[in-house]
Amino acid sequence: MLNQKLIESFTIEGSQPGKHVLILGGIHGDEYEPMAAARQLRTQILPEKLSGLVTLVPVVNQPAYERINRRGPDDLDLARTFPGSPEGSITQQIAHKVTQLIQAADYMIDLHTGGLFSNLAPFSGYTLHPDPAILETQRQMARAFNLPVVWGTSAHLDGRSLSAARDHAVPAIYAEWGGGSGCNPEAVEGYATGCLSVLSELGMLDISIEQKPILYHIEDDRVESGHLQLQNHAPVAGFFEPGVELMDQVQVGDVLGSICSVMGEEETSVIASQTGVILGLRTLPYVEKDEWLAVILETEQARTNYE
């Protein structure tokens, strides 16, 4: 059934009773793989094999989508606006509506990409929820999503869909893959398969998904963990040329790339501030001073590998 109001959604009702999963795409208007994956799931989730309900929201933030932008016309970042307000601006209203959808669900999956300006390696993530049962469910969901990296991070970051889920005791995960303009078919397929795999793990969908090896499962409970834009910023403005690739291993002090002036007579190295694995890279060449350039999943210093 379609809802043509503030948010367009589609709910698949299984032939047997069961839990309710909410799957979100397009919280940022320039993240296209999740939108395509959610649409694809409409035909892949068969009611006769489903127990319970699955609600799909391919494009949560339609005003931002129509602007080809991460943000809506009020210039608010939806991923920093939860739980929102029914009387606020358009982004605040959308956040409020999505919070209601989260509250009505038993589980949530929120799909993301790097947007127009960056590219992210495939990984699934969750918050280190204070409730042990919810935390363990989130771990299981994130591992079942079938991506090579699993990252558990601080539960103290507010304004997100995951913080809304945290506040309503709804087990939730997110995933990141791709970006940099266009729509990567491999990421679309991987996202759809990942969602199906989680539904299977939760006992809601009668389907068999081959599980791929997890290369890294790291948990980090530091307060700002999971905030992708905090490290490895541009020391100057200019033309950024990365010298590393996604999933490369780097050490503190390694050169991540360089920023050159218009004529190339001035060149500034970008130095890694962390040791770990490259999870994200800026793809838009022109950068302003202090814009983030790389995401590094730290594999040392206050890190616990979850077994």
Q: Mean per-residue pLDDT for 103-109?
A: 99
- Quick one: 145 and 46 in the same domain? yes
- Mean pLDDT for the stretch of residues 33-41: 98
How many Cα atoms occupy the beta-carbon half-sphere of 38 within 13 Å? 28
Q: Average of pLDDT values for 4-27?
A: 94
Whether residues 145 and 201 share a domain: the answer is yes
Last residue of a domain, one of 163, 184, 219: 219
C-alpha 45/C-alpha 55 separation (Å) is 11
The domain that holds 69 is classified in CATH as 3.40.630.10
Let me know whether 74 and 204 are in one domain.
yes
Q: Which residue type, as a one-letter code, is found at position 295? A: V
**CA 34 – CA 57 distance, rounded (Å):** 10
Q: Identify whether 266 is part of a domain.
A: yes
In the predicted model, is pLDDT for residue 224 greater than 80? no
111 and 205 part of one domain: yes
- CB of 70 within 8 A of CB of 28? yes
Does residue 24 belong to any structural domain of this protein? yes
Q: 306 pLDDT exceeds 60? A: no
Please count the structural domains in the chain.
2
- Check whether 181 has a pLDDT greater than 80: yes
305 pLDDT exceeds 60? no
Domain membership of residue 192 (yes or no) is yes
- pLDDT over threshold 80, residue 231: yes
Percent of the chain residues topping a pLDDT of 90: 91
62 within domain boundaries: yes
Q: What average pLDDT does the segment 180-197 reach?
A: 96
pLDDT-derived band at 190, boundaries 50, 70, 90: very high
Classify the C-alpha dihedral 251-252-255-256 as positive or negative: positive
- Tell me how crowded residue 15 is: count the other CB atoms within 10 A of its CB: 11
CATH number at residue 280: 2.40.50.100
- Are both 211 and 242 inside the same structural domain? no
Residues 80, 214: one domain?
Answer: yes
Does a structural domain hold residue 229?
no
Does residue 2 form part of some domain? no
Same domain? For 165 and 31 the reply is: yes
Residue 260 belongs to domain spanning: 238-305
Q: What is the pLDDT confidence band of residue 299, given thresholds at 50, 70 and 90?
A: confident
Tell me: do 264 and 175 sit in the same domain.
no
Say if strands 216-219 and 149-153 run parallel, antiparallel, or are unpaired: parallel
Whether 188 and 47 share a structural domain: yes
Q: What is the mean pLDDT of residues 129-158?
A: 97
Q: Quick check: is 20 in a domain?
A: yes
Q: Supply the pLDDT for residue 139.
A: 98
pLDDT reading at 278 higher than 80: yes
For the chain, the average pLDDT equals: 94
Q: Are 155 and 127 in contact (CB under 8 A)?
A: yes
Q: Are residues 202 and 247 in the same domain?
A: no
Residues near 88 by beta carbon (within 8 Å), at least 6 away in sequence:
96
Show which of 171, 190, 219 is a domain's final residue.
219
Please count the residues of the chain: 307
Please report whether residue 128 resides in a domain: yes
Task: Give me the DSSP letters along the chain.
Answer: -B--SSS--EEEEPSEEEEEEEEE--SSTT-HHHHHHHHHHHHHS-GGGBEEEEEEES-S-HHHHHTTSSS-TT---GGG-TT--TTS-HHHHHHHHHHHHHHH-SEEEEEE--TTTEEEEEEEEEE--SSHHHHHHHHHHHHHT--SEEEEE-S---SSHHHHHHHTT--EEEEEEEESSS--HHHHHHHHHHHHHHHHHTT-B----PPPPPSEEEE--STTTT-TTSSSB-SSSEEEEE-S-TT-EE-TT-EEEEEE-SSSS-EEEEE-SS-EEEEEEE-SSEE-TT-B-EEEEE-SSS-EE--
| pLDDT mean over 109-113 | 99
Within 13 A of 198's CA, how many CA atoms are on the CB side? 31
Write down the pLDDT at residue 225: 78
| pLDDT of residue 301 exceeding 70 | no
Structure tokens at 208: 């068999």
- Of 190, 219, 248, the one marking the end of a domain is 219
* Same-domain pairing of 277 and 215: no
Q: φ, ψ for residue 124 (rounded to 5)? A: -115, 150
Do 280 and 131 reside in the same domain of the chain? no
For residue 235, whether the previous peptide bond is cis, meaning omega lies within 30 degrees of 0, is no
Q: 85 CB contacts (<8 Å, ≥6 apart)?
A: 92, 93, 95, 96
